[in-house]
Amino acid sequence: MPADRKNTLLNASTGKGKYRIDAEVRFMGADIIISVWGGTKPHIGTVVISVPRPSLKNPQNISATSSVFNFTGHKDEAVARMFSEKIAAACNRNTVTTAGIHLDSITKNEVRKILKNAETLSVLLLKKIAPHCC
């Protein structure tokens, strides 16, 4: 394991106001921990554990299998799974992701905005992480 991965902490954010989403990544030995939060009441709503494995479609590629725990009433799985599986596969590392994004009385349009910001943030974060994954 490269020495710089031992204590590496990376941060990124995207969006504005109540649509802002923040993420933090920490390398813990060979594993990765990600926290994603945002909205008006950040919290831990979902935990996703992703394990890299050969892709079922093309064993030359790496994919990930995940286990999910949602706290009662929380619907943060789509965001947590997006980050966890994307980064576990790209880095070929066990990855745990927590996510909690909350907006009171959220509308379908606001859900779309949050998911779009989450996708943008996951790509940005992956670019920051990539040099540390080798």
pLDDT at 7: 65
User: Token pair 């992480």 is at which residue?
Assistant: 129
pLDDT at 133: 81
Please report, for residues 4, 64, 98, 108, 110, the alpha-carbon distance to residue 80 in angstroms, rounded to integers and kept in the order given.
Answer: 25, 13, 6, 19, 17
Question: Is residue 44 within 8 Å of 100, Cβ to Cβ?
Answer: yes
pLDDT at 6: 57
pLDDT values of the chain reduced to their tens digit, one per residue, 134 residues: 444 445 678 999 999 999 999 999 999 999 999 999 999 999 999 999 999 999 999 999 999 999 999 999 999 999 999 999 999 999 999 999 999 999 999 999 999 999 999 999 999 999 999 888 86
The DSSP secondary-structure symbol of 3 reads G
Distance CA 131, CA 98 (A): 22
Q: What interhelical angle do 77-91 and 108-133 show, nearest 10? A: 20
Give CATH for domain 3-133.
Answer: 3.30.230.100
DSSP letters spanning 8-40: -EEEEEE--GGG-EEEEEEEETTEEEEEEEEES
pLDDT at 8: 74
